[in-house]
Amino acid sequence: MAIDLQTLYPKLIHLMLDTVFVVDESDHIVFVSDACKTLLGYLPDELIGTNITRYMHPEDLDATRASITRVMSGQPHFDFRNRYIRKDGAVVYILWAAFWSEEVGARIGVARNVTALAKAEEELRFLAHHDPLTKLTNRSLFNDRLISALRTAQRQGNELALLFLDINDFKSINDLHGHAAGDRVLCIVAQRLKSCVREIDTVARIGGDEFTVLLTDVTSRDAISQRLDEIHKVMSEPLPPEFAALTMPLCSIGVAYYPEHGKDADTLLTHSDSEMYRMKRYRNVGSLRQIKVD
């Protein structure tokens, strides 16, 4: 018995897990397979006759139009990614394979949902440059930003300040209250530091209980002193009630200024680190003196 392929092909297309689109020269959808319901949340009848660009993520419109121009000029595009807005408002990441058919007078594209893959790739990119616990910038990205900021400061003749912060006696928190409590304290320190700086500044966790803050476009030393006072004040605020008997540990902060204390990243980091330990020793000596007086 002969198989009627002309009848079979449309049924096969609607069985595909990927979505098939046929779009005319004016960007109107003239055909879409049933898989569009899973991909975008619309039934085929809701999409046919509408302009496909209305479903695209606004931030991807320019790149998508460039891909459309390429395809319509006769260059198939088999690895183009963009984002669409589903009927429920969610964002879906799509991988396209598309070509222009002179015979049909339309471009034909096959769309695959790659949202899970795209999200995983974003997470990996984020983790490559951020601390997984506090979500702050990590040492690698901080060094890159510091070097870039130094170049800008040198070119424009500006000052910048580098703060090196350490949590005093943090080891005792882990020893007495457990590492989970210590991790929560680190996250609170990160949040409080971020609340004290501008969007253009960078806060990083560079390891253990050590944090750095890069302050660019320094207008005056008084402004930095005020920022330090604000950080100390915020850091001295009590921990939330769920921490029970655990008290917020004090922090020691060292400061280095460009160009006074160094003109390269390593020198500034070394100076701010040394200043932090000097402040820690000063605080410890002061505490001992207070104990003796008492």
Residues labelled catalytic: 209
Q: Can you tell me the distance from the alpha carbon of 210 to that of 252, in angstroms, rounded to the nearest whole number?
A: 10
Question: Are 209 and 170 spatial neighbours (Cβ–Cβ below 8 Å)?
Answer: yes
In DSSP terms, which residues pair with 51 in a beta bridge?
28
Query: Partners of 214 in the beta sheet?
Result: 162, 202
- Of 27, 28, 47, the C-alpha closest to 37 is 47
- Interatomic CA distance for residues 207 and 100, integer angstroms: 53
Looking from the CA of 186 toward its CB, the CA atoms found within 13 Å total: 24
Answer yes or no: are the C-beta atoms of 212 and 165 closer than 8 Å.
yes
